Amino acid sequence: MYSGYNDKKIMAQRTDLFSILVSYANKYNSPYIGIKPFLSFLEKYAKRMSEDQPEWLKWTQETTAKFWTELSSLAEEEKCELLNDTEEGRIYLSHFYLDLLQEYYRNMDTNADLPFPSEESLNIEIPENQKRPLGVESDLSAYLAEPQETDLPILRIGFPEDFGSALALASIIPRRLIEAALLKVRNYLRNHDNKEFALRKLTPQLMGKEAYLRDLLNQILTRPLDCYTAIEEGGEFSYLFWAHFSILVKGDIKKKKDRLSDDTAAVQAVYIIEAANIYYKSLAVKRRERELALKDLEQHLNKSPYLYTLDQIIKFTSTKGVLLLSQYSKEDLEEWLKKQTTESPSDALPELLIVIGPDKERCFVSKSKILLLCARLLGEGREKLKKAVSRRWVRLIQEYRSEPAMENDKDFEKLLSRYTAKLCPVLTTILEDPKLQLVYDEMEDTGGVPAASRIFVKGEMLPYSSLFLLKRKDLLEDARLLLPFWYSMSVITGIIRFFKNLFRKKKEIPEDQNGDDELEEPAAGKEGSREMFAAAREIEFAAVPQGHSLDSYLSELETRWSRLINQQARANLVEDVNALVRDNLRRTLRVHKHFRITRENLAQLAAGIVNGTPSLRGLSGKESLRVYIELYMVKLLETVKF
């Protein structure tokens, strides 16, 4: 029964037009109402009812005018539509079929021995534009995976062979539909001693799980709706039971020559449960794969080098070489990272910390590994700082000059701090982050601080000289040992310094922009420098297009590979690439004393820099970047010191 207001005596109790239209539609079992016959009915019915109920008097006078006034309001509220497909016009109650099915599924317990509602059993014909056909075996599992929002609110589920069809509302999928099916399964087990039949037939199929089998059959008989949770979770035993049980029920009933309505209901029910069982099992498998992949992700983050960008995390693979991102979605990854970087028990820090990397990118480091990361960065930075300070002091001594950092520890610490910021920016970021001390305190409380990772003492960070294991006097002595002996004779150097200072103004000690002093000329001396300059000019002439200077072409290439919108970020990227090129070229000339300056050799070196640097491999304009690096090396070679 269609129920805008669910009451059989509705006409005697409600006199609003919608209630009367609902009762009229229920009487004729159709949402289509002819206007002329309805008005005739309304006038006669109102006169009869007004004798006992005065509220019906309003429909005995000016019936047509009042009808059209209220009908307009109902149409605006989308409770009905006015159709002009006949000469007299018709009213269509928009929610007739929806409310009819809603009523069925509200009372599904009382209908457990009947097949699911169909157009034939309800004696209705739903328009094609209101229903979506689904095959229970071919389409229902796939439909469960789709969003339930649809323009077709009614589903017509077709069953194989002669087991009919079922009407269901999209809004009740999946839970209420499956619960209705479970009630029909309970009805099947109650009839003709089918519980013992099922127990006997399924025991060989589920050998060793007889206790679980008996418990589940009892649960279906006593609390059938509770079985939905087990199906939804996709547990192994629940999946196996319903797979075998569905085959059993279908085989048992299909053998019958004379099938009753509750037989058809049972077969329809197990077809629906079977489709849901397959769908939820696939979800459980994917969920398990996702959980394992996220565990692999966590293990990756705990491996050296400990610090990873999001681009690197996306490219993580399993031990079998399968991309982890294929086993969880980007949304899963973002949610996991958000949870790991924000949530934590009690007052502890999250398990994953965020650090700003060298390219101003967000990097992730496991809390348990941040001290090991610091130890690694300190080890790598020690050689850089030692080399930078040594070269600085060698140059100063060669110029018969000195600085406060050579004489006292306080200024030496300041010098180390400046060089650390330039040569080890990630390490500086970590050391200056207050979270580092909180992590250190947490690990110290649990005795988890490695001896090689001591950074704080009594809440104070150790000086840079202690962190890097660098002694001022040792560095100064090493610098002097690299020079001829007379630079160590204070009398001679004092006299020379005195006369030099007479003829020059006092200047600030220059500090290289890249955190290191200027590089020395190549070992070949002035003659080698002239050859290098000539070779570089020859390459420039061949490589730079006509109409461009070397600098203008470098600027054009820079716009091709450095496409960041933020100007500061773009400038930082360019400077990082330039520094990388200088370091590589310096190292090549120092290690390979007879390195020939040819275009082929520079092109090969440029390609090696691009392909050997993970952050550069991901840039879109790699070819432009390679040419840029090649020509930037030409520019450096033309200046000899770079």
d(CA 627, CA 602): 10
564 and 459 inside one domain:
no
- H or E element that contains 309: strand 308-309
pLDDT tens for each residue of 573-631: 888 888 888 888 887 877 666 678 888 888 888 888 888 887 787 777 888 899 999 99
What lies within 8 Å, CB to CB, of 460 at 6+ separation is none
pLDDT tens for each residue of 49-88: 888 888 898 898 889 999 999 999 999 988 899 998 888 8
Full domain range(s) for residue 592? 525-639
Instruction: Inform me whether the pLDDT recorded for 532 exceeds 80.
Output: no
Q: Which residues sit opposite 83 in a β-bridge?
A: 90
pLDDT tens for each residue of 88-112: 889 999 889 998 898 889 888 888 9
Q: Which residues sit opposite 363 in a β-bridge?
A: 309, 355
- H or E element that contains 156: strand 154-158
pLDDT tens for each residue of 145-202: 875 555 678 999 999 999 999 999 988 889 999 999 999 999 999 987 899 999 999 9
Q: What's the confidence (pLDDT) of residue 642?
A: 42
Q: Can you say how many angstroms the Cα of residue 15 is from the centroid of all Cα atoms in its chain? A: 56
d(CA 515, CA 384): 9
**Residue 401 maps to a domain:** yes
- Residue 517 or residue 293, greater confidence: 293
pLDDT tens for each residue of 201-229: 999 999 999 999 999 999 999 999 999 99
Read off the CATH number of the domain in which 17 is found: 1.10.10
Q: How confident is the model at residue 417 (pLDDT cuts 50, 70, 90)?
A: very high
Task: Let me know: does 262 contact 187? Beta carbons within 8 Å.
Answer: yes
CA angle 198, 201, 204 (to 5 degrees): 130
Q: What's the confidence (pLDDT) of residue 486?
A: 54
**Residue 337 maps to a domain:** yes
30 and 120 inside one domain:
no
**Residue 26 maps to a domain:** yes
158 and 115 inside one domain:
yes
pLDDT over 70 percentage in the chain? 87
505 and 376 inside one domain:
yes
**Residue 136 maps to a domain:** yes
d(CA 89, CA 83): 6
Instruction: Inform me whether the pLDDT recorded for 37 exceeds 60.
Output: yes
Q: What's the confidence (pLDDT) of residue 10?
A: 42
What pTM does this model have?
0.62
- Count CA atoms closer than 13 A to 26's CA, side-chain side: 20
Q: What's the confidence (pLDDT) of residue 593?
A: 63
541 and 509 inside one domain:
no
262, 283, 304: which is the final residue of a domain?
A: 283
End-to-end, the C-alpha distance of the chain in Å comes to 90
Instruction: Inform me whether the pLDDT recorded for 504 exceeds 60.
Output: no
DSSP calls for 368-415: GGHHHHHHHHHHHHHHHHHHHHHHHHHHHHHTT---HHHH-HHHHHHH
Q: How confident is the model at residue 395 (pLDDT cuts 50, 70, 90)?
A: confident
203 and 350 inside one domain:
no
94, 111, 138: which is the final residue of a domain?
A: 94
pLDDT over 90 percentage in the chain? 38
Q: What is the mean pLDDT of residues 36-60?
A: 90
94, 116, 138: which is the final residue of a domain?
A: 94
Q: How confident is the model at residue 12 (pLDDT cuts 50, 70, 90)?
A: very low
Domain count, the chain: 4
Instruction: Inform me whether the pLDDT recorded for 33 exceeds 90.
Output: yes
d(CA 30, CA 598): 90
d(CA 375, CA 467): 9
